[in-house]
Structure 1
Amino acid sequence: MNYKVLVSFSGLINNFSVSAFVGAIISISDESVAKDLLKAGYIKPADSADDVAEVKTEEVKPKRGRAKKGE
């Protein structure tokens, strides 16, 4: 089943390294894993076409560095 990611996460699922970012649509075949992620609020079912089309990208702004004294 397909799920929309609500909270970014990474880790091992059934001995496979997995990572997902907010807004991604992922497929999870293991019901127990999906149930745990649903209960934790990390994912939600992505059954509708609206959810699949709703993947967003966020602009990442670089952090400002500290100015050195005298500059």
Structure 2
Amino acid sequence: MMWWATSGYEPLPMATPNIHPGLRTYRRHVYIAGGLLLIFVGLLIIYYHMGTADTDVVQLPGYHSVPENDKL
């Protein structure tokens, strides 16, 4: 169902024929897939950082963390 089907708005006939009639549905699928991918990547990053909370993967300049095993 088109967005104008329930609003009482009747669109004007297009000057050029619609070459891609399924483009609107395809674009919606791309948006949904992209959103799900962003959520998945975000959760993966959060899960990864929860597992590496005690050791720093990225060392900040001038800051050195020593893991518990390497302390003398």
TM over 0.5: no
- TM-score, with structure 2 as normaliser: 0.24
Bigger relative contact order (CA 8 A; separation at least 6): 1
- TM-score, with structure 1 as normaliser: 0.25
- Select the structure of larger CA radius of gyration: 2
Specify which structure has the higher proportion of helix.
Answer: 2
